[in-house]
Amino acid sequence: MNTVLSVKDLRQSYGGVQALRGVSFEIKAGECVALIGPNGAGKSTCFACLAGQQKALAGSLVWRGHDLQLSTVEMRTRLGVARTFQVAQVFEALTVLQNLQLVLQASRGVSMQDLLDECLLDEAMHWMAQTGLSDLGEEMLRSPAARLSYGGKKRLELAMAMAGLADASQGLMLLDEPAAGLAPEERADMMERIKRMTHLGTTVLYTEHNMDAVFGVADRVLVLIDGQLVAQGSPQEVAVNQVVRERYLGQNFSLNKESARA
């Protein structure tokens, strides 16, 4: 697999606080990579710099040969970069289907003459199926998104992010705690669907605090502590890293237990 995302010496500060202190890593096409670490480690800042909500003070971000530091959020979307947030961001007043239809139609141009309910219904239903939302039934899909459970909103946000990419097989999905707030069964199903995306070629970088959504799911794990990358490697390598165990996972952490839960 070829390297598609290269992050080198990424730095970001807020006043006198150094949120990112020279973070460097690479991700290959179709990899599923977890970025973990304690609260305040710099994970969300790293995501914001990659997605374009913030501009890093220094360092380089290269996605498929394109310099993301010179790209706006809109440009990054066209380049195949999409993200989700810790708290699901959906249009709650629109129906579940309309959320997808709006995202799909927006890439083609929206006019006052468009009837949203008639826009790209088949494509919207495709992404509903990919994230398990089609199981909710016709009545719920045509109800306001505000009626969805929190887990349903997380699925809808993921579907919207995927639908917004011109070619999901060439895309980079930045998922900020995709399983947060979900029950164990919902979490396992969500992570299985995310893993399935990489089988189609999508590259995934995600943060998580639920270790069963990391170990047994991710191909590789990056560990960020105090704005620095202190370890990276396979889940097995990271699980036995003494610095990671001392400063984050704990000495009693069991990889077999987490893998069994995943």
Summarised one tens digit per residue, pLDDT across range 237-250 is 999 999 999 999 99
Q: Which of 248, 237, 230, 243 is nearest to 21 (CA)?
A: 230
Q: Is the pLDDT of residue 67 over 70?
A: yes
Q: Is the pLDDT of residue 259 over 90?
A: no
State the pairing for strand pair 228-233/17-28.
unpaired
Q: What average pLDDT does this structure show over 191-214?
A: 94
Q: Is the pLDDT of residue 118 over 90?
A: no
Model confidence over 77-108: pLDDT tens digits? 999 999 999 899 999 999 999 999 999 988 77
Q: In the chain, what are the domain boundaries?
A: 3-87+172-261
Comparing 223 with 200, the larger pLDDT belongs to 223
Output the pTM of the full model.
Answer: 0.92
Evaluate the CA torsion angle 112, 118, 122, 128 in order and state its sign: positive
Helix (H, G, I), strand (E, B) or coil at 226: coil
Rg (the chain; Cα; Å): 19
User: Band of the pLDDT at 112, cuts 50, 70, 90?
Assistant: low
Model confidence over 157-198: pLDDT tens digits? 999 999 988 788 899 999 999 998 899 999 999 999 999 999
Which class would CATH give 3-87+172-261?
A: alpha beta
In the numeric block, the tokens 């890093």 are attached to: 56
Return the bridge partners of 120, or none: none
Q: What average pLDDT does this structure show over 221-245?
A: 96
Mean of the per-residue pLDDT values of the chain: 92
